[in-house]
Chains A and B, each alone.
Chain A
Amino acid sequence: MFITIAEFIGRLHPLLVHLPIGILLIACLLQWLSSKQRFSELYQAITITLLCGMVAAIASTISGYLLRMNEDYDEQLVNIHQWLGISTAVISIIFYFLHRRNAPVKVRLGISVLLFLLIVLTGHFGGTLTHGSDYLSFSGSGETTAIRQKPIADVQEAMIYTDIVQPLLQTKCYGCHGKNKQKGGLRMDDSARLWKGGKDGIVLIAGKADESEMIKRLLLPRNHEDHMPPKEKPQLNEQEIALLHWWIASGAPFRKKVKEVKQSETIKPILISFQNNGPEKKLISDIPVTAVNRGDEEAINKLKERGVVVLPVAQNSNYLMASFVIVDSVTDSDIALLLPLQQQFIWLKLGNTRISDSSLYVISKLKNITRLQLDHTNITDTGLAHLRSLTNLQYLNLVGTKVSLQGMLALKELKNLQSVYLYQTLIKSSEWTALKNNFPHILIDSGGYSVPIFETDTTLVKPKKKS
């Protein structure tokens, strides 16, 4: 498809705008400097600079107007930007003629300050239009990430729209059909506007997924011009499309729970995949977001001399992992070697070592630990209590230790805990229910699995005798 000349000129706007900004700012600067005796000769340059800036400003205004005609932006924002832009152009024209007429210096200084402010404001609102209102702020990206994929403990209890559909629309659609832009006149971030559709009509037909424009466009070949999301943008995968299809086919409910909606065989496994791990969960969540200083080289070498494997968890990361898998006899003094690196360690493998409760007191100072393997060690409840301070802990392996239900309950406050392995501990079979009730969102593995003995395990099939 070809675009019209007007559209094309409109698209030059992002390029053109930088000219008046630069040139007019120089003109203002020249104006201010030339009032000083030392720079008085700069006065000669003002006229031509202003002329160039004025022409550029007019061109930008025209192209900007054409752009807004053909694209869909936030109405209010684009109005402010437009009128500020026009004002800038007008003021630059007035400034030019005042200068030609040799108006009094005070008038010219005044108008140059006004022009300066206009340029800054227009530029700011222009930036907001393209990058979003949260772009230029110290808080990082604010609004767009407000609705994050929360871990879902039981997908059947989850809200179908807010927990499953909305996070998906948000990551893949709101960028162009949200608060800041409404391409094609479509805004999807609230239900009323989603139902209303865009310029080309409604996008959702409740109960009829295959006839809904939204699904149709998702399913078009990626090179088709109507395909959504546009081919250069992140795409939806098969499961995500299946989810949207299922949601619309179920009448596009906004306030229902998953369990209240009929689920086909194909959608069930996709829904289950939301449990424990949302589809948008980041891969590197087990590394802290905040950076840390490089670990002390000498401290690392001391550990290595003891046979401990010490490694950064990844290239370009100062966080460390340690494995004691080949250290013959780990003593509590060896554990003390970890202390100089207490900020850096996040994964610790201490399984099958002789460490005891006093080591755990040291380990409790390693605040950033996320994965801790203490299986088959001599630790007890007393030591376990020290781990209460490890608020970042996600994985805890206590297999083959002498910890009991009481010891585990001391860790109730660990908010980030995801999985605890408790095979062959002192926890009695009657206590598992109580334990699981105390840790409702955590994988508690009791172990002790058995594989039944079937007669067929050991018998072999023989061919039938021909009669």
Chain B
Amino acid sequence: MTQKELHDQRLVKEANDKAMRFFTRRHFLRESAMGFGALAFGSLLGCNSDASVNAVNDFDAANPLAPRMPMFPGKARSIIYLHMAGAPSQLELFDYKPELMKLDGQNCPDSLLEGKRFAFIRGVPKMLGPQAQFKQYGQSGAWVSEHLPHFSTIVDEVSFLKAMTTDQFNHAPAQLLMHSGSARLGRPSMGSWVTYGLGTENQNLPGFVVLTSGGNFPDAGKSVWGSGFLPSVYQGVQCRSEGDPVLFIKDPAGIDRDLRKASIDAINEVNKQEYEEFKDPEILSRISQYEMAFKMQISVPEVMNINSEPEYIQSMYGTKPGKACFANNALLARKLVEKGVRFVQLFDWGWDTHGTSESGSLDIGLINKCREVDKAMTALILDLKQRGLLEETLVVWGGEFGRTPMQENREGKQNIFKGRDHHAEAFTIWMAGGGIKKGYSYGETDEVGYSTVSGKTEPFDVQATILNQLGLDHEKFVYYFQGRPFRLTDVSGRVIEEILA
């Protein structure tokens, strides 16, 4: 017997052993006894009459990313979500509060502090006036600060939500709430829900792409684009704008494309047999991921190469070829959407302006962050518009919460730079394109921007609106898991009709 035959024999034996372990005598007895008992008990309780117990998720395991029809004709076909991780200060960007200026330096009134908890503020902080000059722009007369000179030229394209609230004042839970509808881990992110519901038009690219910039991941980590209880094929695929777009995308030296194809076919064949035996849908996910990875080896480097874009487009966004930066990611987002990618999620880290350090301050760090994104996000809107893509692409910009009208006094002491603490009760986000009103603002905060006065919205409402624009009813769009239907918006959420065109 040659070495090879011996080896093969051992492999076969190993496979047989493994399979047998699933069908031992004990296994049989336990399954039969418990199984019959459970069946009998179940029918005694009349469980089977409940439709949800028998409900099957509408999901094609062999072809999980195939495009699917929406529930009703949606306005948007793609989403670009620009998340400024760390929470930009609404009071220095969009929510103009001249009254707050008058209170600058005074002690915060008790009425604002009673019964409230803050992440860092202790005792009685001082009020802090807006650290920027504001002007009105466009036909809609939207207030924008001097920090966003480019964005102020396109305010007539967007709808602001100025009375956003959340119930989390720490980054990770607030980010999770914003993107997965739950402040705790384990729920699928919005991009996963959307690709689960609608698939994606381009089978050679991932349906849900994540791009990060700012030097760090968002505090919630990769869970913020995770697939939760949905099949893992729906999780966000993180791509890089520096170096290879996806790690290990190149074939290793000595492996050519044909050999790669042959090996993937072989692996998939084994996986298919495995699936025949155990019927675990995750195996199918794995098969389709191998196939997608193979196709992506060609298509991803092509679409992710921003150098192929003409010079005037590059300068419009202010890209920095070869670097990982927001501008590169914004341009990539447009290229991906153009190629039919369903959901592009950008995270830009570094907006947490407490005033404890130079980069985390309102008078230095925030301005520098604005300079990093202002031009690129403006270019993104205009570029989508001139390609006729803005009508069917919904762009969302925002953070995970807002910032206090008070200057932060960490541990009761004045911070060395100008800064504001986390604030869950009021912040601003904006949306553009994809059937959203142009030049509109919804919701108001009080005269110091502490809490909402009218038109209050919350993350669930934003999620419901995003799904609605894609043609999905957030109340009917469910996934059955652990015996009950789950929704992205859980038990709340309202489509913000006011900002729909």
Contacts and interface: CB of A to CB of B under 8 A. Distances in A.
B204 interface: yes
B386 A314 contact: no
Contacts of B315: 453
A421 B386 contact: yes
Nearest to B74: A314
Interface of B: 67-73, 75, 139-141, 149-150, 201-204, 312, 315-318, 338-340, 358, 363-364, 367-368, 371, 374-375, 378-379, 382-383, 385-388, 391, 435, 437-441, 454-455, 471, 497-498, 500-501
A423 interface: yes
Contacts of A4: none
Contacts of B498: 237-239
A265 B69 contact: no
A129 interface: no
A311 B69 contact: yes
Given A273-B440, A375-B388, A460 B202 contact: no
Contacts of B391: 395, 419
B340 A238 contact: no
B385 A461 contact: no
Contact of A399 (B71, B75, B387): B387
Give the top 7 A-B pairs by smallest Cβ distance, nearest first: A447-B386, A421-B388, A397-B388, A449-B382, A325-B340, A277-B501, A423-B386
Nearest to B68: A311
Contacts of B75: 283
> What bracket does the count of chain A residues touching chain B fall in?
35 or more
A351 B77 CA distance: 15
A91 interface: no
B204 A326 contact: yes
27 contacts: A237-B498, A238-B454, A269-B141, A269-B440, A272-B440, A284-B72, A286-B73, A287-B73, A309-B340, A311-B69, A315-B71, A323-B201, A325-B340, A326-B201, A326-B202, A326-B340, A399-B386, A399-B387, A419-B388, A423-B388, A445-B386, A454-B149, A456-B149, A456-B371, A461-B364, A461-B368, A463-B364
Interface string A445-467: 11111111110111111110000
A323 B150 CA distance: 34
B149 A314 contact: no
A34 B486 CA distance: 64
A272 B439 contact: yes
Residue among B149, B317, B454 having the largest count of chain A Cβ atoms under 10 Å:
B149
A276 interface: yes
Interface string A428-458: 0000000000000000011111111110111
A202 to B, nearest CB: 29
B316 A445 contact: no
A268 B141 contact: yes
A239 B203 CA distance: 43
Nearest to B363: A461
B441 A269 contact: yes
A462 B75 CA distance: 44
Interface in A230-281: 237-239, 265, 268-269, 272-273, 276-277, 281
A447 B387 contact: yes
B73 A445 contact: no
Contacts of B385: 445, 447, 449
Given A239-B498, A273-B440, A451 B339 contact: no
A317 interface: yes
B69 A312 contact: yes
A344 interface: no
A313 interface: yes
Contacts of B363: 461
A460 B358 CA distance: 12
B388 A313 contact: no
B71 A269 contact: no
A373 interface: yes
A152 B316 CA distance: 33
A457 B375 contact: yes
B285 to A, nearest CB: 21
A284 B386 contact: no
B140 A269 contact: yes
A219 to B, nearest CB: 12
B202 A265 contact: no
A265 B141 contact: yes
A462 B364 contact: yes
Interface of A: 237-239, 265, 268-269, 272-273, 276-277, 281, 283-284, 286-287, 309, 311-315, 317, 323, 325-326, 351, 373, 375, 395, 397, 399, 419, 421, 423, 445-454, 456-463
A419 B455 CA distance: 31
Contacts of A281: 501
Residue among A269, A323, A451, A454 having the largest count of chain B Cβ atoms under 10 Å:
A451
A314 B72 contact: yes
A237 B497 contact: yes
Contacts of B340: 309, 323, 325-326
Given A265-B141, A272-B140, A423-B386, A450 B316 contact: yes
A397 B388 CA distance: 6
B141 A313 contact: no
Contacts of A351: 338
A276 B385 CA distance: 16
A313 B367 contact: no
B178 to A, nearest CB: 25
A238 B163 CA distance: 14
Nearest to A373: B388
Contacts of B368: 460-461
Contacts of B438: 272, 276
A239 to B, nearest CB: 7
A269 B136 CA distance: 12
Residue among B72, B315, B316 having the largest count of chain A Cβ atoms under 10 Å:
B72
A265 B71 CA distance: 39
A207 B340 CA distance: 53
Contacts of A446: 386
Contacts of B72: 283-284, 314-315
A395 B389 CA distance: 11
Nearest to B387: A399
A399 B388 contact: yes
A423 B201 contact: no
Contacts of A287: 73
A288 to B, nearest CB: 11
A315 B141 CA distance: 40
A277 B438 CA distance: 10
Residue among B364, B391, B454 having the largest count of chain A Cβ atoms under 10 Å:
B391
Given A449-B386, A451-B378, 13 more contacts: A265-B141, A272-B438, A273-B440, A283-B500, A309-B201, A397-B388, A423-B387, A423-B388, A447-B387, A450-B316, A451-B379, A456-B371, A457-B374
A323 B339 CA distance: 11
Contacts of A449: 316, 382-383, 385-386
A325 B201 contact: yes
B169 to A, nearest CB: 27
Nearest to B361: A463
A314 B204 contact: no
A387 B391 CA distance: 21
Contacts of A423: 386-388
A311 B149 contact: no
B93 to A, nearest CB: 15
A309 B67 contact: yes
A446 to B, nearest CB: 8
B381 to A, nearest CB: 9
